[in-house]
Amino acid sequence: MSWIANSPLTYLQQFCVNVIKCGPIPKHIAIIMDGNRRYATKAKVEKAEGHTRGFDKLAEALQWCLELGIPEVTVYAFSIENFKRSQSEVDTLMKLATEKFQKLLDEREKIMAEGVCIRIIGNMSLLSQELRKLIAEAVLMTKDNNRAFLNVAFAYTARDEMVNTARKVVEGVEKGAIEADDVDEDLISRCLYTGDRQDPDIIVRTSGEVRFSDYLLWQISNSYICFTEVLWPEFCIWHLLACVFKYQRCYNDLKKNNVKIIKNERVKSFVEGLEQEKLMQLKSYI
Ligand code: FPP
Ligand code: MG
C-alpha cells in the first residue's frame, strides 16, 4: 500500500466527519501505533505481517486525518528501545521501512501531488547507510511541501532527543554563538528534532497500554491524551473520530499551543544555523 490510502468513506462516515469538522479540529496528532504483534497473534499471521498491516493502517489514518483537516501527524515507527528486540524482528522492521521509503520515492508524483512534507525525527546515525540514504532522499524531495506534514519518529526516544539538544546548546554556548542567558524553553523547543513544528494537540496510544514509552515527552506537556484499547492494525475511523470528539469536549480547558517565535536575533541565527546543518547532514547521506 502507498503512504496515503485512497479508499472512499461511506456516507455515514463522511457525514460524521462533516459533523466533527463543525468543532475545533486539532492541528497536530501524535500516535503511538502499538499492538502489531498482539494483532498478529490474534489474526494467526506472522509478526512481520502484523507490522505490514500496521503500515497499511498508517496510510488509512493519514487519509482520515486529511479528510478531517488535520494537517500534521507524528507517528512512533521505531523506538531506540526497539533495537533490543530479536535481531530477526529488528531486521523485519528495517526491511519494511526500506521497502516503504523506496516505494515512496518510486511514487514521487503521488506524494508531491498530495503536497505532503515528510520529516524524520530520530537519531539517524543508528540506521544503516541504505536506509539513511532513502530517508534523506524522501525528506529532501518533500521538504517544500506544505499541505500536510508527516513526522516519522524512527530510531527515536525523547531522552535521546533531549541529550542531543543539550549537546547542541552547550556547543553553541562554547562557540559563542549564543549566551548561557539565551537558554530558555523556546530555544530548547527549537533545538529538538521537532524544531519549528507545533506541539501535538492530541496524543493517541492504541492497544490498551497506558504509558508514553519515551515519546515526545517535551512536546506533549499540554496535549490531550487518548488511550484506546484497540490494537493498531484494527484502528478505524470511528476510533479517530472518538479521539477528536473527546478533545473537542474539553477544548476550552486545554492550554493552547503557541507558535514558536524567536525574537532574539542571536538565537534566531543560531537556530537557523542548526537547520542548515541538518540539511547538510541529510545531503551528505545521499
Ligand atoms: C508497535 O507494536 C509497533 C512497532 C514497534 C512498529 C510500528 C511500525 C509500523 C506500524 C510500520 C511503520 C513503518 C514506517 C516506514 C513508517 P508492537 O510491535 O509493540 O506490538 P505489541 O505491542 O503487540 O507487542
Ligand atoms: Mg508494543
Whole-number Å distance, alpha carbon 215 to ligand 2 midpoint, is 13
> Would residue 13 count as lying in a domain?
no
Whole-number Å distance, alpha carbon 34 to ligand 2 midpoint, is 5
Q: Domain of residue 153: give its range.
A: 26-157+196-255
Cβ–ligand 1 distance for 77 under 6 Å, the answer yes
Nearest bound ligand to CA 78? Answer: 1
Cβ–ligand 1 distance for 54 under 6 Å, the answer yes
C-alpha angle 83/190/258, rounded to 5°? 115
> Would residue 127 count as lying in a domain?
yes
**Long-range CB contact pairs, 81-89, < 8 A, 24+:** 81/157, 81/213, 81/214, 83/126, 83/155, 89/47
Looking at residues 111-139, what average pLDDT do you find?
96
Residue 2: per-residue pLDDT:
84
> Would residue 215 count as lying in a domain?
yes
Residues 116, 148: Cα–Cα separation, whole Å: 5
Cβ–ligand 1 distance for 34 under 6 Å, the answer yes
Cβ–ligand 1 distance for 243 under 6 Å, the answer no
Residue 255: per-residue pLDDT:
85
Note the pTM of the prediction, 2 decimals.
Answer: 0.96
Nearest bound ligand to CA 211? Answer: 2
Looking at residues 134-160, what average pLDDT do you find?
97
Whole-number Å distance, alpha carbon 75 to ligand 1 midpoint, is 10
Cβ–ligand 1 distance for 119 under 6 Å, the answer no
Residues 105, 25: Cα–Cα separation, whole Å: 31
Residue 260: per-residue pLDDT:
74
Which of 3, 78, 127, 131 has most ligand 1 atoms within 8 Å of CB, for mutation? 78
203 by DSSP, 3-state: which? Answer: strand
Cβ–ligand 1 distance for 35 under 6 Å, the answer yes
Closest-CA residue, ligand 1 atom 8, reads: 77
Quick: pLDDT tens for 154-206.
Answer: 999 999 999 999 999 999 999 999 999 999 999 999 999 999 999 999 999 99
The total of structural domains in the chain comes to 1
Q: What is the CATH number of the domain that holds 64?
A: 3.40.1180.10
Quick: pLDDT tens for 242-259.
Answer: 999 999 999 999 988 777
- The residue whose grid cell reads 526516544 is 157
Cβ–ligand 1 distance for 3 under 6 Å, the answer no
% of the chain with per-residue pLDDT over 70 = 100
Cβ–ligand 1 distance for 82 under 6 Å, the answer yes
Looking at residues 59-68, what average pLDDT do you find?
97
Q: Residues with Cβ < 8 Å from 282, sequence gap 6 or more? A: 136, 139, 140
Whole-number Å distance, alpha carbon 208 to ligand 2 midpoint, is 10
Cβ–ligand 1 distance for 36 under 6 Å, the answer yes
Residues 99, 101: Cα–Cα separation, whole Å: 6
